[in-house]
């Protein structure tokens, strides 16, 4: 009888330890995924109330593209990185296209609704950069046929 009880106690302790390990593993996984979610959020959108300081902006330029952000190299690049990647990734810029007026409207919209700060004297430089490098693509029209070289079909 006593022996039987001991056996049971042993078995129960074993089950308890196994359960404990399972719970710990689940908690660990939950924690891990939560961490991941946070870091995913960070490179998507984040709250910011100031531009990124210029001394923090570095990085390599490869084939005319700033490697870290994918932005085209040009006058005003650093200002654009500093002001425009503080809340969201630069992808949102590189995937957009507009003329100067269009970019200005987007900036005003962000200022009115997303707490984008006044860009001050940087605004003109940033608008020039955006309008020059992220202008709407020309319509994909086929070029008119030029000189046509006729040739005879031979069988």
Does residue 48 bind ligand HEC (CB under 6 A)?
A: yes
Binding mask 113-152 for ligand HEC (x = CB under 6 A): -xxx---------x---x----------------------
Site string for ligand HEC, 74-113 (x = CB under 6 A): ---------xx-xxx---xx--x---------xx--x---
Q: Rounded to the nearest whole angstrom, what is the least distance from the CB of residue 146 to ligand HEC in the complex?
A: 38
Instruction: Map residue 58 onto helix, strand or coil.
Output: coil
How many residues interact with ligand HEC (rule CB under 6 A)? 18
Give dist(CA 108, CA 51) in Å, integer: 16
Rounded distance between C-alpha atoms, residue 81 and residue 57, angstroms:
7
Site membership for ligand HEC, residue 52 (CB under 6 A): no
Question: Per the structure block, which two tokens stand in for 43?
Answer: 């490179």
Structural contact between residues 69 and 90, judged by C-beta atoms closer than 8 angstroms: yes
By beta-carbon proximity to ligand HEC, the closer residue of 62 and 112 is 112
Q: How far is the CB of 67 from ligand HEC (least distance, A)?
A: 19
DSSP labels for 119-151? -TTHHHHHHHHHHHHSPPPPP-PPPPP------
Cα 8 to Cα 33: distance, rounded to the nearest angstrom: 38
Burial track 31-51 (b if 16+ CB lie within 10 A, e otherwise): eeeeeeeeeeeeeeeeeeeeb
Residue whose CB is less far from ligand HEC, 9 or 71: 71
Show the tokens assigned to 3. Answer: 């022996």
**Min dist. Cβ of residue 17 to ligand HEC (A):** 48
**Contacting residues toward ligand HEC, per CB under 6 A:** 45, 48, 83-84, 86-88, 92-93, 96, 106-107, 110, 114-116, 126, 130
């Amino acid at each position: 009888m006593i022996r039987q009880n001991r056996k049971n106690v042993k078995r129960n302790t074993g089950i308890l330890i196994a359960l404990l390990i399972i719970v710990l593993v689940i908690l660990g996984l939950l924690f891990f995924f939560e961490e991941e979610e946070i870091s995913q959020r960070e490179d998507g959108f984040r709250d910011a109330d100031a531009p990124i300081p210029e001394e923090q902006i570095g990085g390599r330029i490869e084939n005319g593209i700033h490697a870290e952000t994918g932005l085209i190299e040009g006058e005003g690049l650093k200002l654009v990185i500093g002001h425009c990647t503080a809340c969201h990734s630069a992808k949102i810029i590189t995937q957009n296209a507009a003329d100067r007026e269009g970019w200005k409207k987007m900036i005003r919209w962000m200022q009115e609704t997303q707490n984008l700060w006044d860009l001050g004297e940087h605004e003109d430089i940033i608008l020039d950069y955006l309008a020059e490098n992220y202008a709407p693509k020309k319509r994909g029209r086929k070029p008119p046929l030029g000189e046509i070289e006729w040739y005879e079909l031979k069988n």
